[in-house]
């Protein structure tokens, strides 16, 4: 029994080959640094959240494969002129974006999306939507750091210090610095926007967008539940910092930094599981 590759299948194989060749030519840094990007030391320093969101985007892409495949059959040998222009624009944009370790995977995928657009046209709608979600996850913390670093951090510091003072802890803040006298000595920590939770907020918004793509809520439900999610994500960030400081207060700096490394990976999934439950209940109603 022989297996015949359909014209659509041949075009898909061709697009993959072109993506591999162009990535080797134009995105050599990706292949040179992929080991570093996946190394434990790099992930501990920069977080695993971009890879997590990218993984979810590929899961959503797989779930939508039937719809994408249906749209892939619309075009003939190549897409219509507007999509060719769009594809070339996406590819050119990928080349023009400033090189940075955090964005190199996004650049490569954007270039591949451009190639896919040239060959399959309108079928790129869902992939480019998912790529936008991934790109937002990368850019949101960068934008916060550039334009609202101090305000974002100081607001979080104020909330954390106010709560701990309410429980009787002797703790002070000056700008982005929190100071307290623990049982093992004085400790001062600097809270930047990433420590304040810009990354986890980006992940929340990204996953919310994916949920809306998959199981869409009407606006009258989506807006209130989104606001609820933003507030909840902010509060879980505050809780994470409180746990860090309390750990440092009773057990010293080493305990504080250990909590810093792992607390977010425990608290955020618990919070988001609660949020997902509330979201899905709204879908059922």
**Residues 110-138: pLDDT tens digits?**
999 999 999 888 899 999 999 999 999 99
Whether the pLDDT of residue 3 is over 60: the answer is no
In this prediction, residues 96-117 reach a mean pLDDT of: 89
For tokens 């990007």, what's the residue?
A: 37
Mean pLDDT of the chain: 90
Angle at 238 between CA 48 and CA 227, to 5 degrees: 85
Q: Name the band, by pLDDT with cuts 50, 70 and 90, for residue 1.
A: very low
Q: What residues contact residue 238 under an 8 Å CB cut-off, 6+ apart?
A: 156, 159, 160, 163
Tokens coding 198:
């810009």
Give the closest residue to 280 by CA, choosing from 241, 237, 227, 225. Answer: 225
Whether the pLDDT of residue 252 is over 60: the answer is yes
Q: Name the band, by pLDDT with cuts 50, 70 and 90, for residue 73.
A: confident
Angle at 13 between CA 12 and CA 19, to 5 degrees: 90
User: How confident is the model over 39-71, as pLDDT tens digits?
Assistant: 888 887 778 889 999 999 999 999 998 999 888
C-alpha Rg value of the chain to the nearest Å: 23
The greatest distance separating any two alpha carbons of the chain, rounded to the nearest whole angstrom, comes to 78
Q: What residues contact residue 163 under an 8 Å CB cut-off, 6+ apart?
A: 238, 242
Q: What residues contact residue 15 under an 8 Å CB cut-off, 6+ apart?
A: 112, 115, 116, 119, 120
Sign of the alpha-carbon dihedral angle for 18, 20, 21, 27: positive
Whether the pLDDT of residue 6 is over 80: the answer is no
Helix (H, G, I), strand (E, B) or coil at 174: strand
Return the percentage of the chain with pLDDT > 90, whole number.
64
CA-to-CA distance for 7 and 47, rounded, in angstroms? 41
CA-to-CA distance for 70 and 95, rounded, in angstroms? 30
CB 221: neighbour CB atoms within 10 A?
A: 14
| Residues 236, 264 contacting (CB under 8 angstroms) | no
Give the closest residue to 202 by CA, choosing from 151, 126, 264. Answer: 264
Whether the pLDDT of residue 4 is over 80: the answer is no
């Amino acid at each position: 029994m022989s297996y015949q590759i359909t014209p659509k299948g041949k075009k898909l194989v061709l697009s993959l080959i072109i993506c591999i060749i162009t990535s080797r030519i134009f995105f050599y840094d990706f292949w040179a640094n992929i080991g570093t990007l996946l190394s434990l030391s790099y992930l501990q320093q920069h977080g695993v959240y971009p890879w997590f969101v990218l993984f979810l985007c590929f899961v959503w892409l797989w779930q939508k494969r039937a719809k994408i495949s249906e749209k892939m059959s619309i075009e003939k040998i190549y897409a219509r002129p507007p999509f060719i222009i769009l594809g070339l624009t996406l590819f050119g944009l990928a080349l023009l974006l400033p090189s940075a370790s955090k964005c190199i995977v996004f650049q490569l995928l954007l270039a591949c999306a451009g190639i896919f657009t040239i060959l399959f046209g309108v079928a790129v709608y869902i992939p480019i939507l998912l790529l936008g979600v991934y790109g937002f996850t990368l850019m949101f913390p960068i934008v916060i750091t550039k334009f609202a670093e101090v305000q974002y951090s100081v607001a979080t510091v104020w909330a954390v210090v106010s709560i701990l003072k309410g429980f009787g802890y002797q703790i002070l803040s000056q700008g982005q610095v929190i100071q307290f006298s623990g049982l093992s000595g004085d400790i001062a920590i600097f809270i930047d926007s990433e420590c304040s939770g810009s990354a986890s907020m980006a992940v929340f918004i990204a996953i919310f967008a994916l949920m809306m793509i998959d199981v869409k809520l009407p606006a009258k439900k989506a807006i209130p539940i989104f606001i609820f999610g933003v507030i909840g994500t902010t509060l879980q960030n505050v809780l994470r910092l409180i746990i860090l400081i309390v750990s440092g207060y009773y057990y010293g700096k080493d305990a504080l930094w250990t909590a810093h490394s792992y607390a977010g990976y425990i608290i955020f999934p618990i919070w988001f599981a609660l949020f997902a439950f509330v979201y899905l209940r709204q879908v059922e109603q």
